[in-house]
Structure 1
Amino acid sequence: MSQNHFTLSFPLKSPADAKALREQLPPLMPQLFKAADTIGRIHYSRFTILDAKTLLFLGDFDGEFGELMADLAKAAGPVFDAIFTHVDNPPPSPVANNANAFVESTADHLLHAATLFSAYSDVTAKQIKAMATAADVTGAGKQLPFLVILPIKSRLAYLEVQLLLRARAHRTQKDLAAIGTPHFAQFVPLGNNRVGFFTVYDGSFDEYIADFTKYIGPVFDLVFKFTKDPPPSPCRKHLQEFIDFAAGANRAPIGFYQAYPGLTVQDIHALIADSSSRSGSDG
């Protein structure tokens, strides 16, 4: 079963609706997390307010997008009912009774990534949890989301950045793997001359950024040529400036769901290796 990513961009009715969602979403998250646990195919998810009239919902998951959205409609319908009171042209409510319309609406709001990365692309969320349970491993790591929005200088520059990111996708994936701490990562064109870089990683922010600039700084150096008010390049020689820029461009997540909290990328790789070794010896 293949892994996938979604970034859904919901247009909000007004800035007041964005403000209301900042307050109303957090209390709804336990219900969404319970639904995600029940569905069992979501690795990570989180919301964030992109701007005064846009809500983003991001997730890394197993299987097909349509099937996941149908399951979310049934398991977390009331959460989306509450969200859709603030969204322009929402699908019919209650969502749980209109799953097909919800699937079609979310497909219309789906943004497509220019670069996708997974540190363990051959295993599902259920398999990771099962391996951890079998090995009695809970993990002591801390998984964190990173949601950076890069403002691009112009429409032409925005198109050039997308071409650059797609052309460099394989190299970027190798660079991300070399860091050893990102679980999933994506560059996503967001419209209105903005590009998002979204990742889930292990450890402290400053340590992550230091490793990050060492291995993946070159792709940011390229993107920064098209970015408004970028930090100085190359990133690796201006670490503190990059840290300050990234911290300022980072958006706060709302409701960070983790299917296997505490497990680091290295924990998961060790579980996969141990499981493969045992399967081989059993054979």
Structure 2
Amino acid sequence: MSDDHVHLVLAEGHEDDTRWAYGTGFEDPLHGVDTTVPEGVDSGELAAVCVALADDALVLAQRLAEWTTRAPELEEEVALANIGLDLLGQARLLYSRAGQTDGTGRDEDAYAYFRDAGEFRNVRLAELPGGDFAFSIVRLLVLSSWRLAHFERLTDCDDPVLAAIAAKGVKELTYHRQYAAEWVVRLGDGTAESHRRIRDALDQVAPYLDELFTPCDVRDEVGAVLEQVTAAAGVALPVCRPLPGSGRAGEHTEHLAPLLEELQSVARAHPGATW
């Protein structure tokens, strides 16, 4: 199966696909959207959903930023940086919505820079060290496929703000998934060394997959995408015993705290500073 064929299949239902246009423009996705929490929507639960999805995006964006000056080619460095910026934009919108609904009035900086690792609710796969290019690409494929499935559902949620954020994110995540899928096929169907690296990356990712499907189960949908892409790449998605614990419950690997220390260092050294 060629890269183009994989693209056509994964893009089905997303015909408005721009291969190099990261993000969805400069318009405000929340323009004209009523920010009042709808009657019947639990503000605490809404805030918790927003924080968890924002934490996923922020942490993965930070990991992608580590490829700056280190990517195999300049084009891939730009691509990964722009995907990271898309995720950072999603995190900002979600943190802002959380601050509006959790009763604290916190802004996006308060969530991103002034919480410790145990207060973060991101899935653990997002926080693992970047490893080699193959690992980062496989992780991006998994998380973008999973996040896209969630966001597609959230476009119909009762909160109009979260629905608008999700609608914007769907367009971005469709490209993120496509970019990663094409690279997985290219590496898996490439040299013996690139094939080995993709296989090793899948082995590293597999123990963290089970955490992604609790509590909202999109396992079948995401699994179908992963099976399609890995089959085209000539590799198999391994089945292994899931690791105990959950990032959603604040149970993280030893890798999150150092990542956050680097991310938060300037803001904590100069709290309240503007520039």
Instruction: Using structure 1 for the length normalisation, give the TM-score.
Output: 0.25
TM-score by length of 2: 0.26
**Bigger helix share:** 2
- Larger CA Rg, structure 1 vs 2: 1
